[in-house]
Amino acid sequence: MASRSTVIFPKDWIWGAATAAYQVEGATREDGRGPSIWDTFCRVPGAIANGDTGEIACDHYHRTAGDIALMRELGLGAYRFSISWPRIFPTGSGRPNAAGLDFYRRLVDDLHAAGITPHVTLYHWDLPQALQDQGGWENRDTARRFGELAYTVAAALGAGVHHWYTINEPWVASFLGHWMGQHAPGKRDLRVALLAAHNLLLAHGEGLVALRSEMRPGDAAGIVLNLAPCEPATDSNADLEAAHRADGFVNRWFLDALYRGAYPDDMVRLYGDAMPEVEAGDMALISQPTDLLGINYYTRNVVAHDPAAPPLETRRIVPVDAPVTAMGWEVYPRGIYQVLKRVHDDYAPGRMLIAENGAAYDDSLVDGQVDDPEREVFLHDHLLEVYRAIEEGVPVGGYFVWSLLDNFEWAWGYGKRFGIVYVDFATQERIIKRSGHWYGHVTREHGISG
């Protein structure tokens, strides 16, 4: 644990917490919402731990008033949430569903009334099933459909939303969803995953164009990437090269495309025939300047060469004796600093935010309280490392805890709790955890003390 000291964050620093539509809203069949690929994936036997689904989740759809009151109690300055695409376009195209737009319009208004700034992500993985039926992210046309979503949402909410993110974690949506089969739509084909990744990046580009047509001066738009330092398990050449490939797979593939306008040569060679076709103009669309880069940081990757794992020939290992969270992810606060510094030094994207950082632990409710000292230490130590980046001149402007609430953790269902607020899923009661009370203190003090 880093030593306790007093640090005060910059004046315009943003303190926030994040959620995503499918993970918290529930109400999957209400007010005209169509099915998403996650509704479908949840019905695949064995896909989700315990057979859990997002059908009810945190029932946030019906409980926004209470949840905004919680945000106030936590002293949040900002709330990052995502738009459920199938609430807006239940069949993927055609006329937008007014009830869907109204839900988010009310949410934005209520947040402003509570003095909380909305940060809106347009795609956090819940593609309308109707678009999946036409090929989903394997179909270039999905990128154009995403442009329509961006335009429609910006036209409806633009007066109240000044911070936009197109796509959350294209690496997860493409590779976990289309190569490793762990996320919707559950495919297992590298060629398909690379095509999906390209189309997700095109969607980001189409989304930016659409947002910019509606944005007002001073508004900001960007993308959210999951980034992780990739370090070799030993100093052997084989491991060093494996770590470089892993970095190409997770980090450089997206950073190079977005901020250099080209996929990295070494990875293009490695992917060989699996590479998607890149049309003239694609890379220019993808690499338009962003005003904001959201970074999600959870852990680092320690990488070993593994000839049994083609084509990347890498294996991710957790160092012996390292502290881990309930996900089995190494607790490595220094990595958040490394990522911020590296992105700034190598890509200079301008303003960055930590759009997600947090940890799952096996919390339990005892006598009406949730005592989660590990999460408190986790957040504290990561925040100190973010502060170190600020001190070194990295333009990072805010921090969002993942997550406001315990919620539907994708393939892990409700078994993994990331919230600073505990949710009793049987009653929907919310209880602020010890880490939440601590974070409330931090947001009010505007820093970490004592």
The phi, psi pair for 405, rounded to 5°, reads: -120, 150
Minimum distance, C-beta of residue 296 to ligand FCB, in the bound complex (Å): 6
Among 356, 363, 385, 406, binds ligand FCB (CB under 6 A): 356
Q: Is 169 in the site for ligand FCB (CB under 6 A)?
A: yes
In this structure, are strands 78-82 and 14-18 parallel, antiparallel, or unpaired?
parallel
Q: Which is nearer to ligand FCB, 332 or 402 (CB)?
A: 402
Residues belonging to the active site: 169, 356
- Of 131, 140, 264, the residue nearest 202 (C-alpha): 140
Minimum distance, C-beta of residue 23 to ligand FCB, in the bound complex (Å): 6
Among 64, 226, 287, 357, binds ligand FCB (CB under 6 A): 226
- Residue least distant from ligand FCB (Cβ): 20
Query: Can you tell me the distance from the alpha carbon of 218 to that of 276, in angstroms, rounded to the nearest whole number?
Result: 36
Among 28, 168, 290, 338, binds ligand FCB (CB under 6 A): 168
Q: Which is nearer to ligand FCB, 152 or 168 (CB)?
A: 168
Query: Can you tell me the distance from the alpha carbon of 362 to that of 327, in angstroms, rounded to the nearest whole number?
Result: 10
Helix or strand (DSSP H, E) at 102: helix 98-113
Minimum distance, C-beta of residue 168 to ligand FCB, in the bound complex (Å): 5
Site string for ligand FCB, 32-71 (x = CB under 6 A): ----------------------------------------
Residues 6+ apart with CB under 8 A from 434: 369, 370, 371, 372, 373, 375, 376
Q: Is 296 in the site for ligand FCB (CB under 6 A)?
A: yes
Contact yes or no for 169/225 (Cβ under 8 A): yes
Minimum distance, C-beta of residue 169 to ligand FCB, in the bound complex (Å): 5
CB atoms within 10 A of CB 284: 10
Tell me the DSSP string of 106-124.
HHHHHHHHTT-EEEEEEES
Q: Is 176 in the site for ligand FCB (CB under 6 A)?
A: no
Stretch touching ligand FCB by CB under 6 A, among 107-115, 156-164, 166-174, 381-389: 166-174
Output the six-digit token pair for 66: 């209470």
Stretch touching ligand FCB by CB under 6 A, among 30-38, 165-173, 316-324, 331-339: 165-173
Site string for ligand FCB, 298-327 (x = CB under 6 A): ------------------------------
Q: Is 251 in the site for ligand FCB (CB under 6 A)?
A: no
Query: Can you tell me the distance from the alpha carbon of 440 to that of 155, in angstroms, rounded to the nearest whole number?
Result: 34
Helix 373-391, helix 334-347: angle, nearest 10: 30
CA-to-CA separations, 36 to 120, 127, 135, 299, 329, in angstroms, rounded: 19, 5, 13, 29, 29
Residues at the site binding ligand FCB, with contacts judged by CB under 6 A: 20, 23, 168-169, 172, 226, 296, 356, 402, 409-410, 418
